[in-house]
Amino acid sequence: MKRHTSLYSVKTCQLAIIFIFLTHCHLFAQDIESKMRAIFIYNIAKNINWPESAPKGDFVIGIVGDNSIAGELDKMISNTTATNGRTTIVKKIAASHTVGVIENYHILYFSTKETQAMQPIITNATKLPVLLIGEKSDNSCKGSTLCFSKDTNNKLRLELHKLSLEQHRLKATNDLLRIATVIDN
């Protein structure tokens, strides 16, 4: 009977270790994905030309719905120089607070969880010089200027919506146009 109990304990322990390992791998993958998105957002900021009517002063990036990306951007910004000659500020904001203050941002990123909140913002920001970045998980990128997507190998890709970029009076550098998939809708 003791042998049966100890065998049961060993199997339970093995299952617990496997569960912990798989959970840790999943969290590690999410962490890497957040870092990759933060790197993309930071480098996109350097590869967009804003018109004179864009907000003056600090360069402001708003993150709606994903604090891990905001945290990664904060780490990157604290170790680098200014974006486009200005101090860069990352703000974590609630979706409900974006409609009235959208003109104060240069970039607004909406995580997958906040795609419903993105549609009224897109409607209100059509002519404003703000870069709207979304996720292409459920057709939520309609109207955004840039969109994160994944290819068939589950690699992170970037879509640039040319018409939306023009409506916001923003211009992408040739470097950005080379790495993004340009959508002419």
Domain boundaries, the chain: 34-183
Distances (CA, A) of 54 to 77, 146, 174: 21, 18, 21
pLDDT in tens, 2-29: 555 554 455 454 444 444 444 433 334 4
Q: Tell me how crowded residue 29 is: count the other CB atoms within 10 A of its CB.
A: 11
pLDDT in tens, 81-107: 556 677 888 888 776 665 567 778 889
pTM of the complete model: 0.75
Kindly report the average pLDDT of the chain as a whole number.
75
CA distance 85 to 103: 20
Q: Residue 167 burial by CB count (10 A; 0-12/13-18/19+): exposed, middle or buried?
A: middle
In CATH, 34-183 is 3.40.50.2300: yes
Q: What is the pLDDT of residue 170?
A: 93
Q: What is the pLDDT of residue 104?
A: 82
Element (H, E) at 175: helix 174-179
